[in-house]
Structure 1
Amino acid sequence: MSDPVGTEKSEAATEEKTSSKVTDVDTEVVPDDAVDEDKTEAETEDKAEEKAEEAKPLTKAEKRELLRIETQRARARKAGLQAFGLATAGLAVVAVIIGVLYFADSRSADPVAESPATPTAPAEEPSLPPAVPFPPVPEGADPALKTAPTVEKGEGKLEAGKPKITYLIKGTGPATKTGDLITANYVGVLYGTGEEFDSSWSRQEAITFTIGMGQLIDGWEKGLMDVPVGSRIILDLPPDLAYGDQDDGSGRPTGDLRFVVDVLGAQGQ
C-alpha cells in the first residue's frame, strides 16, 4: 500500500516548483518591442517639448542673454583669428631668423668669405711719361747748348763731295761712331742767304737717328761722324751731299745748305 501522505507532499512540492518557475519567467523575460515602444514615446515627448520651446516667443531678457552670448562668441572667434595671425607672423619671423643664421653659417664655412674684404682702391689714371726737358743738354755740357743758335749765311764756294765742318763748341763726351743712336738739335738755312727752312728748336723737340746706316743725307752721314757729344758744329754741304741743285717739287731746299747741329747724346747699339 502506498502512503497517501507522502503522495500529497509530493504533489504539493511539484506544484510549488512549477509555480516558482512560472514566476521566474514572468519576472526576467521582457519583450524587446515593449522597450522600443517606451524609448520612442520618450523621444517623441522630448522633441515635442523642444518644438514647443522653439515656437514659444523669447522674452526681452532672453533676447538680451542670447545677444550677449553671440557677442561673446564673435569676440572669441576674432580673438582666435588674431591669435592665428600672430602665430603666423611669429612663424614667418622665426623662418627669417633661421634663414639668416643658415646664411651666416654657410658663409662662415666658406674659406673665401672668411677673408676680410679688401677695399677697392680707386682706379688710378694712367700716368704720362715724364716730360723730357728741352733741350736735353747732357750734364757738364756747355750751357750755350740750352739756347738756339743764331745762324748767318755762308761765305765762299763749297767743294763738291766734301762737307765743311766748323766747331762752335767742342764737347767733352764720347765721339760718335757708326751705329750710334744720336740725339741732336739743329737749324737749317740756305747757305747763300741764311734763310731758315727747318729747325728742331721751332718744334721744341730734339731728333734721334742712327748714324752710318744710310738713314740720312750723305752730308750728315759723313759730317757727324766722330763728333764728341756736347759739341755744336756748323755743317756746310754742297748740293751733291744734300738735296741736289734741281727743284723736284718735293719742297725740299736745293743748292748749298748750312746746318748748325748740337750733338747731345750718342748711345751705342
Structure 2
Amino acid sequence: MKLSGKIALVTGAGQGMGRAIARLFAEHGAVVVAADLNLEAAQETIAGADPERAGMARAVNVADSGAVRALFDEAVTRYGRIDIVVNSAGIGSFDTLAETPDESWARVIGVNLTGTFHCVREAVRSMAASGTRGSVINLSSTAALNGDGPAHYCASKAGVMGLTRSAAKEVAAQGIRINTIVPGPTNTPMMQGLPSEWEEAILKAVPMGRMGEPEEIARAALFLAGEDSSFMTGQNIAVNGGMAFI
C-alpha cells in the first residue's frame, strides 16, 4: 500500500497505460480521479478499482485549459488536495511530414504537449496552494529520442521531456517533484492500430524482442509517485526494452 491516503489524478485513464496506472495506484491505496476524453471508458477504469478507493471519473479534453482547470478545481473541492498527477493522455497520427495538415499538427501538439502543460500548471498551482509535496509524472515516448515516428508526434513527446526538466527545477524547492516516463512500444490500443509492417519494424528495433505491457509502465509510475523516488526530480526514465538510452 505505497500510496495509502493519497489523491491521484490520472489523465488518459480510459485505456492503455493510463488505465493500468490508475488501477495500480488504487490497489496501492490511492483515491483515483480518472480523467479521459471518453467518459464511459474512464468510468470503466474506476469500476475495476476497490469501491473504497474508486474516486471519480470525469470527461476532459486536456487541450482545453478551462476544462483542465475545472477538473482540478473539482478534485480539490471534493478531496481537499491532489498529491499525484499522471499525464498519460496522448494521441498519435500516421501523417508523413510533407502531407501533415496544419490541423493534424495542431491537434497532436495540442493534446500531447500543450495538454501536458495545462495539467502540469494546474498541478503545481494546486499543490502549492495546499502545501502538498506532490509528484507529477509525465509520459513521453522513445520516439522523442530516436525520431521513429511522425514529426508532430516526436516533437510533442520531446517537448514533454523539456517541459519536465524546466518545471522540475522551478518547483523543486517547494517539494514538488516532476518526472517523465519514456515508454517504448507498448501493447496499447494506439500501438494495436499500427500497420503490420510498422509493428514488425518496431519489434526488430527492441533488443528484448517484444512490446512492453501497460502494467510495466504502471509499475514505473508507482515508483515515481511514492517515497521510493523522494530524491528524484527532472528525470526522464526509459522503460523501453533497451530500444534507446537517455
Q: Going by fraction, where is helix more abundant, 1 or 2?
A: 2
TM over 0.5: no
TM-score tier, shorter chain, comes to: under 0.3
Q: So what's the TM-score if we normalise by structure 1?
A: 0.18
Q: So what's the TM-score if we normalise by structure 2?
A: 0.19
Larger radius of gyration: 1
